[in-house]
Chains A and B, each alone.
Chain A
Amino acid sequence: EVQLVESGGGLIQPGGSLRLSCAASGFTVSSNYMSWVRQAPGKGLEWVSVIYSGGSTYYADSVKGRFTISRDNSKNTLYLQMNSLRAEDTAVYYCARLVGAPPHFDYWGQGTLVTVSS
């Protein structure tokens, strides 16, 4: 059974850093495209970043240069390093697996809340 479990969220001051983790089971992270998607309070979903199976990474303009997506193959875990956090980064962050060619999101985690506030 495919499962994705996010962790690492919390309250952080503007300008601070946080690292989110997404532990996967039931499949191999490194063999799939993996993504982070966020949802600000009361708002819709927003794509944040993707890492392809070959290792290429891409980011939304809103986080480019501040966020870094990575994975640890030995731990079958996806990460999102978030630096220079802003109030507008406040959101629930979901990790999601992409499948298919062309790819679409199929499984999502339950999300972890990041609150950026002083």
Chain B
Amino acid sequence: QSALTQPASVSGSPGQSITISCTGTSSDVGSYNLVSWYQQHPGKAPKLMIYEVSKRPSGVSNRFSGSKSGNTASLTISGLQAEDEADYYCCSYAGSSTFWVFGGGTKLTVL
């Protein structure tokens, strides 16, 4: 059982937008603006897509955006493309005893 709750799967057609939610508690997502999102293609290393809730690393498309409200963070992908099909994981800092917690992952299917 993962500490953060994500939907198991989401889908969308090319060009559409989708949102993946990540629900934690007041001890992690709700306490820190330290949520990050990772994209993982099968057999590949996770890739950082969003950090500190809404910041994008250099080189990541501006089609990816992040937000947070209370204990729930969200990743939105606009203008879906075939190469966006992957697993997405959220992560939150959870303090100096638990450190980092992850979600169970969401499989994005581009129809």
Q: Does A27 have its Cβ within 8 Å of any Cβ on chain B?
A: no
B residues near A (Cβ < 8 Å) are: 2, 32, 34, 36, 38, 44-48, 51-52, 57, 89, 91, 93, 99-105
Q: Which residues of B lie under 8 Å from residue A102 when comparing CB positions?
A: 32, 34, 52, 93
B102 pairs with A46, CB closer than 8 A: yes
- Please give me the 5 A-B residue pairs with the lowest Cβ-Cβ distance, nearest first: A44-B104, A45-B102, A108-B45, A47-B100, A104-B51
- Expressed in whole angstroms, the minimum distance between the Cβ of A27 and any Cβ of chain B is 15
Report how many A-B pairs have Cβ atoms within 8 Å: 60
A106-B34 Cα distance, complex, nearest whole Å: 13
- Can you list 18 A-B pairs with a CB-CB distance of less than 8 A? A43-B104, A44-B89, A45-B46, A45-B91, A45-B102, A45-B105, A47-B101, A50-B99, A94-B46, A100-B52, A104-B34, A104-B52, A104-B93, A105-B36, A105-B48, A105-B100, A106-B48, A111-B45
A110 pairs with B102, CB closer than 8 A: no
Interface residues of A in 102-116 (CB under 8 A from B): 102, 104-111
A residues near B (Cβ < 8 Å) are: 4, 35, 37, 43-47, 50, 58, 60, 94, 96, 100, 102, 104-111
